[in-house]
Amino acid sequence: MRKINILKAIVDLLWFFSMPIILLIVGFSIAIFFADLGDLNVKINSVNFNNNTLLSKILLIISGLNYLLIIAALYFFRKVLNFFIRVKIFEETVILYFKKIGNLLSVSGIISLTISMVSKAYFEQKIALEFGLNQHLVIICLGLFFLVLSEVFKIAKHQKQENDLTI
């Protein structure tokens, strides 16, 4: 039980530090269309947004919204950890939260991979196919893992209900 409390503390700390960033993202997304980004060198997920074109602004806003998807997944993960601490593991809401986390992370990974490919093609004028482990694929795999975990918990809940009925 101590490990889950440590995990909960780390996730709560991440949640606490991400709250001011949400306000900055929303404010920055609104101000981006009214301010000149020529002098500002913004870099999100290894994508350098130093151009003042409309596509650059749109990609920057989508990157900010993508970050909000990850924060939403972190929120649902906090909820799941609260259920685990109270030893309510096979609740229907836990299964639902796992599914939401998986969907959010999968969509976020796909969006970040797409942004990375578009920005490389647009800003650096090169198209490259790289094999290996990168952050976008890890996020997609993590999302798929949470989707599988929701299915496993659904099966385990069904098995638990059958075992509770058996004498």
Question: Residue 140 has what pLDDT?
Answer: 94
Alpha-carbon distance values, 47 to 42, 52, 75, 163 (Å): 8, 14, 26, 52
Question: Residue 48 has what pLDDT?
Answer: 63
Q: How many helices (H) and strands (E) in the chain?
A: 4, 2
Question: Residue 110 has what pLDDT?
Answer: 94
Average pLDDT over residues 73-89: 94
Instruction: Report helix angle 135-165 to 92-123, nearest 10.
Output: 170
Total count of domains within the chain: 1
Q: State whether the Cα torsion 66-68-73-77 is positive or negative.
A: positive
Interval 111-167: pLDDT, tens: 988 888 888 777 777 777 667 788 888 999 999 999 999 999 999 999 988 888 776
| Structural domain containing residue 99 | 2-165
Interval 23-59: pLDDT, tens: 887 777 777 767 665 566 666 655 666 656 777 778 8
